[in-house]
Copies of this chain bind each other. A is one copy, B any other.
Amino acid sequence: MKKAVFYHAGCPVCVEAEESVAKAIDGGVYKIEYVHLGEARDRIAEAEGAGVKSVPAIVMEGQPFHINFGASMEDVKG
Contacts and interface: CB of A to CB of B under 8 A. Distances in A.
Interface string A16-58: 1100110011111110000000000000000000000000001
Indicate how many identical chains form the complex: 2
Among A24, A28, A64, max chain B CB count under 10 A is at: A24
Nearest to A60: B20
Interface of A: 2, 4, 16-17, 20-21, 24-30, 58, 60-61, 63-69
A66 B16 CA distance: 12
Main SS of chain A's interface residues?
A: strand
Contacts of A67: 65-67
B65 A21 contact: yes
